[in-house]
Amino acid sequence: MKEPVKAVIFDLDHTLVRSGIDFPEMKIKIVDYLEKRLPSLEGFDGNRPTYEMTQAVVENLQSRRLSNIIPEVTEDINRIMNATEMKYVSKATLIEGAVETLKRLRSVGMKVGILTRACRQYTEKVLVATGLSEFVDEVATRDDSANPKPDPSQIYWLIERMKVSLHEVVMVGDHPVDALCARNAGIAFVGVLTGSWREEQTKQLGSTVIRSVKELPDLLGIRGQRERSL
């Protein structure tokens, strides 16, 4: 990193923890709901990521002058997502080195933020269950904004809360959406290979790539406790 880093914003699932959420199950439930609630829906693509699918539905309803039912439809979709996430809270497990990494960041005074598309209840329960919560300063979830990532608004909110500047922040994630969010906000991004994203895809967006968060402290030049005492 060229600039001194004072804060790191992490994605949660498959960056700090291995999620047990059955995303195909979630998508099937959403598609089933949409087909029953909006049988005349046109141009609907159930193969798109959940967020993109929801956005497409909203735009479709707007174009058909059905904006009045958008709040109901999006609330129902969100309810399905929340229920599916909460069903699998107990399945979340730590990615190796996650706790140690956050400890090392905090030991040198760095702030730690979480930015996730998961709901707040799921996020908080997973952070507590995995022992990560005590090392986290701020959390931004799907419930906290109508514009989740890759929209950069929640990054700006976290930065303001952590009292740091854009050039002092690094975002870490496992997915193209994380990289795009960082790019949209104008902050540095580090891609980890603990999700479905591969190194070649990460590099295409000009990102620094590490195998997992375990390697982040070394990348940022943070020495371990034993090294500092020598």
- The crossing angle, in degrees rounded to 10, of helices 70-87 and 50-63 is 170
Out of 5-14, 120-129, 138-147, which region has the weakest mean confidence (pLDDT)? 138-147
Q: What is the CATH number of domain 7-20+92-229?
A: 3.40.50.1000
pLDDT digits (tens, 9 = 90+) for 20-58: 999 899 999 999 999 899 888 766 677 777 888 888 888
Kindly give the residue spans of alpha helices, DSSP state H, lying in 151-190: 153-162, 176-185
**Integer Cα distance of 101 and 118 in angstroms:** 22
Grade residue 109 by pLDDT with cuts at 50, 70 and 90.
very high
Residue 148 has pLDDT above 90, yes or no: no
pLDDT at residue 40, as a whole number = 81
Residue 15 has pLDDT above 50, yes or no: yes
Contact 7, 164 (CB under 8 A): yes
* pTM of the entire predicted model: 0.88
Domain ranges in the chain are 7-20+92-229, 23-87
Q: Tokens at residue 34, please?
A: 């949409």
Which of the pair, 148 or 77, is modelled with greater confidence?
77
**Integer Cα distance of 52 and 32 in angstroms:** 16
